[in-house]
């Protein structure tokens, strides 16, 4: 039986269309959605946003976190206060020693409650023109005592080559020969010894030193006269 050519052509077109549909299904499953793509087609993959690792979605902390350190607290005492505290302990110890074992012909102690300001008395040595006199002396301790010498001055006027009219004393241990090992007790004994044995080679009053060297009797008369006038009142 002969088929109509038109029907034959339509039949071929239907067969071709069916085959194309079958091939499309295979392409969709195997090509457009390959393994490992999560079931998405290539067309879908093209329209998806670009892939980024999950870490990129986390906010980045750009601040450096440092450990919290305890606050630096200054010492409760400054250097000056610490030095004054050390001086107080030293002065108190010397005061106790003076009260327990006072030096011969000398006495000393604080003025009121001021531990750094003392008043002392020195009895004129019996073998000197100052015998019988009572000489008052002021003592001022520096804040860094005993590393610096005390300031010692006569309040009583003294006719002496090493003691001027202001009461200043020219004595090596009160200047460059001072040592922290020295004490006020030793200083008072040295001052008392200076009344007996002046040092005309290092005078504070050159005129009196000249008289001491060249007119000893005249010097002794003047020293005795000043003692009677100023130290025996």
199: left (phi over 0), alpha (psi -120 to 50) or beta: beta
Give the integer Cα–Cα distance in Å for 42 and 172: 107
Give the integer Cα–Cα distance in Å for 163 and 1: 164
Active-site annotation holder among 56, 88, 106, 170: 170
Give the integer Cα–Cα distance in Å for 182 and 90: 11
Answer yes or no: 55 catalytic: no
Question: Residue 122: beta bridge partners?
Answer: 106, 135
Structure tokens at 177: 């020969």
- Catalytic sites, residue numbers: 170
């Amino acid at each position: 039986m002969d088929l109509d050519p038109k029907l034959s052509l339509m039949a071929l077109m239907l067969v071709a269309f069916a085959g194309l549909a079958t091939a499309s299904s295979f392409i969709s499953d195997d090509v457009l959605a390959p393994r490992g793509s999560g079931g998405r087609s290539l067309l879908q993959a093209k329209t998806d946003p670009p892939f980024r690792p999950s870490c990129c979605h986390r906010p980045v902390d750009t601040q450096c976190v440092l450990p919290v350190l305890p606050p630096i607290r200054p010492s409760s005492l400054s250097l000056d206060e610490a030095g004054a505290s050390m001086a107080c302990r030293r002065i108190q110890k010397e005061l106790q020693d003076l009260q327990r074992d006072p030096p011969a012909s000398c006495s000393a102690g604080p003025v009121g409650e001021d531990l750094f300001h003392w008043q002392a008395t020195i009895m004129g040595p019996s073998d000197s023109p100052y015998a019988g006199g009572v000489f008052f002396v002021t003592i001022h301790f520096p804040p860094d005592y005993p590393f610096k010498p005390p300031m010692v001055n006569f309040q009583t006027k003294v006719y002496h080559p090493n003691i001027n009219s202001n009461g200043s004393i020219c004595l090596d241990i009160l200047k460059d020969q001072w040592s922290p090992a020295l004490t006020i007790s030793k200083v008072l004994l040295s001052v008392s010894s200076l009344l007996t044995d002046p040092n005309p080679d290092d005078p504070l009053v050159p005129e009196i030193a000249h008289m001491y060297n060249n007119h000893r009797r005249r010097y002794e008369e003047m020293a005795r006269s000043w003692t009677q006038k100023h130290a025996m009142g």
